[in-house]
Structure 1
Amino acid sequence: MQLDKMVRTVYPNLTPYTCQLADLPVEEIRQVLGLDKVYKLSFNENPLGPSRKALEAMQEALLQLNLYPSSNGESLLKRLAEVEGVLPENIMLANGADEMILLVAQTFLEPADEVIIPQVTFVQYLAATHLMGAKPVFAPMKEDLRIDLEAVLDRITPRTKLVFLCNPNNPTGTVIPARELEAFLDRVPEHVLVVVDEAYHEYAEGDGYLSSVEYVKRHKNVFVIRTFSKIYSMAGARIGYGIGQAEVVDAVNHVRPPFNVNGVAQAGALASLDDEEHRAESRRINAVGKQLMYATFEELGMKYLPSQANFVCVDTGRDSSALFDRLAERGVIVRNLSGYGLTTSLRVSIGRPEEVEAFVRALKEIILA
């Protein structure tokens, strides 16, 4: 078989998702490390678990697994429209934010097109660009690792189709102030769609943050991506959604597969929207863990980025790969940021108090030994 002559020309740029230690489920990490207790702080998961209301709705939906779900998710779209203050035609569902990113790329990108991506941000934007054979154009970050919108504007050409912005940004946890983002959008040409990934939207507060849904309402060329994986703690159910102008949503729906979001996930997402108590408790746990991390990093003389998400990016001042390995030996799994060129930095998810405390103990043992 001559596979190299059969696959698409973009094949060399596509890398299968291979699980490193930080990507494995907890049970598999235990087996690899030979440890009974493991604290996984590498995936930005909500440690609280799903809403009780969501679990009850999903259990009830299991009784209808013999039936196809709503292809568009009409009930959920209607409720989301009420929550976001838009019309149902402004929203569409996806199999997690990852699929939403892919659907946008499949809708708009041709091989000659350019996509502008900040240098330090979520890797799936690059993967989706490569999938379509388009050209990634990287915009450097500001000195403090915030997204540099001027650098993005400087790289827009007639061939630019998409700009990806993660806000709050992963893996830095920083946000783009609303006044900067609005001024930026006023200068973006109409032939460019700005895709704003707001996976961590519900954790953001302060720093002048404003959801880009407001710009969709003002008829800007903006498409917002959201997920139920983070504060709603439904990562395993794989459900997200996009918000944009009706014509943009309609265009993306042309490439969306039917029944891409299963009925159990739809039921859980719909119920979780009515559980503000669960969201409030998730934010409380996050705030407590964040402050403990901040205090520890300050005690150890480490620089960190104040975070508007459920993780913290810290510059440890030493080889992050070696530090990752030493933390793993103690059963604490974090995210090594060497792949971003941040060779002394880690991203640490904020777990339950006991998980954050385990990380703090292990870090102090290593640094102060």
Structure 2
Amino acid sequence: MKLEKMVRSVYPNLSPYVCKLEDLPVEEIKQALGLDKVSKLSFNENPLGPSPKAIDAMQKSLTQLNLYPSSNGEAVLHKIAEKEGVTSDSIILSNGADEMIILVAQTFLEPDDEVIIPKISFVQYLASTHLMGSTPVFSPMKKDLGVDLDAILERITNKTKAIFLCNPNNPTGRAIPAEELEVFLSKVPGQVLVVIDEAYHEYADGDGYRSSVELGKRYKNVFVVRTFSKIYSLAAARIGYGIGQPEMVDAINHVRPPFNVNSIAQAGALASLDDDEHVLHSRQINEEGKRLLIDVCEELGLTYVSSQANFVYVDTAKDNKVVFEQLAERGFIVRTLTGYGLPTSLRISIGQPDDMKNFSKAFKEVIQNEEKD
């Protein structure tokens, strides 16, 4: 069997997800490091876990696992529509935000298309572009690692089919000011799809940030992606959604697999949307953790980004692999950003208050020891 004659021509550009230490579940990390306690601060997970209401709803749904779930997730669609001020036919559910991005690519991208992606942003945009055999066009970042919207506009050609924006951006946490985004959208040709990934929307509350759902009502080429994996803490359940014009949603439904979101995830999402107290508590814990981490960065004189998400981007000014290894020895797992061309930078998720206090001590110790060396 000659595999190269069987697979699609895009195969050489596709890579399977390979787990590094920072990607493993906590129990596996403990085993790999020989430690009894590990604080995993690499996956941008909500340390509080799901809403108690969501856990209860998901447990009750287990008695009906013999039944197929709602194919469209009608109850969840109506609840989101009520919350966002849109019609339910403007929303589509997916198996996490990752699948939503893949579905968008499968619906709209052709091999001859170009897709503009900020150089430092979520890797799924590039993966989905390659999946469809389209050509990625990278736009440079601003000096402060903000998304350079003017640079994106300069790269639009008659081959441009889509633009991917993460707002707030991962892995920097920097948000695009709403006024700048609206001016940008007014200049993007109507036939170019603008996908705005708002995975961290519920955490953002500053730097002029506003959701693009309202903009999507005026600019018909805007499609907003959301997830229940972050502040709602349903990462393992895998449920996300998109909001756009009804005809755009209908087009995506032509490629969406039926029953792509299971009944347990739907039950958890529905209950999560009714627990505002859990969301507020999650924000509070996140803000306190960010403030502590930022204070440490300022004390150490390190460059960081005032994140609008549940993580902080830090330039350690040292080899991030060395810093990672020394933190791992102390039981703290963070995200290295070498793959983004940032060999001295880390992305540090916000954990429980005690985890952040202990991490801050360990981080200072590692950085200060590095300085002495």
Alignment of 1:82-121 (within 5 A): 82-121=82-121
- Please state whether the residue corresponding to 1:133 is helix, strand or coil: coil
| Equivalent residue pairs, number | 369
CA deviation profile, 1:11-67 (whole Å, cap 9, x unmatched): 010000010001000000001111111110000000000001101111111111000
Q: Distance in 1 between matches of 2:178 and 2:20?
A: 36
CA deviation profile, 1:112-143 (whole Å, cap 9, x unmatched): 10000000000000000000000000000000
Stretches of 4+ aligned residues off by more than 4 angstroms:
none
Q: Distance in 2 between matches of 1:220 and 1:154?
A: 21
Name 2:133's counterpart in structure 1: 133
Q: Distance in 2 between matches of 1:219 and 1:175?
A: 20
| Contact in 2 for aligned 1:332/1:358 (Cα 8 Å) | no
Name 1:322's counterpart in structure 2: 322
Q: Percent sequence identity over matched residues?
A: 70
Q: Distance in 1 between matches of 2:288 and 2:164?
A: 31
Name 1:306's counterpart in structure 2: 306
90-99 or 322-331, which deviates more: 322-331
Name 1:186's counterpart in structure 2: 186
Name 2:167's counterpart in structure 1: 167
Q: Which runs of 5+ in 1 are unaligned?
A: none
| Contact in 2 for aligned 1:39/1:358 (Cα 8 Å) | no
Q: Distance in 1 between matches of 2:367 and 2:189?
A: 49
- Please state whether the residue corresponding to 1:307 is helix, strand or coil: coil
Residue 191 of structure 1 deviates from its aligned partner by: 1.2
Name 1:284's counterpart in structure 2: 284
Name 1:297's counterpart in structure 2: 297
| Contact in 2 for aligned 1:326/1:366 (Cα 8 Å) | yes
Residue 204 of structure 1 deviates from its aligned partner by: 0.3
Name 1:348's counterpart in structure 2: 348
- Please state whether the residue corresponding to 1:237 is helix, strand or coil: coil
| Contact in 2 for aligned 1:185/1:220 (Cα 8 Å) | no
| Contact in 2 for aligned 1:219/1:245 (Cα 8 Å) | no
- Please state whether the residue corresponding to 1:69 is helix, strand or coil: coil
Amino acid paired to 1:130: H
212-221 or 107-116, which deviates more: 212-221
CA deviation profile, 1:197-254 (whole Å, cap 9, x unmatched): 0000000011111100011122431000000000000000000000000110000110
Amino acid paired to 2:40: K
Q: Which runs of 5+ in 2 are unaligned?
A: none
| Contact in 2 for aligned 1:76/1:269 (Cα 8 Å) | yes
- Please state whether the residue corresponding to 2:355 is helix, strand or coil: helix
| Contact in 1 for aligned 2:185/2:219 (Cα 8 Å) | no
- Please state whether the residue corresponding to 2:189 is helix, strand or coil: coil
Name 2:149's counterpart in structure 1: 149
Q: Distance in 2 between matches of 1:142 and 1:40?
A: 30
CA deviation profile, 1:302-346 (whole Å, cap 9, x unmatched): 111000000000111111111111111111100001111111110
Instruction: Give me the TM-score of the superposition, normalised by structure 1.
Output: 0.99
Name 2:227's counterpart in structure 1: 227
| Contact in 1 for aligned 2:51/2:275 (Cα 8 Å) | yes
Q: Distance in 2 between matches of 1:367 and 1:214?
A: 44
| Contact in 1 for aligned 2:320/2:344 (Cα 8 Å) | yes
Q: Distance in 2 between matches of 1:295 and 1:176?
A: 24
| Contact in 2 for aligned 1:201/1:211 (Cα 8 Å) | yes
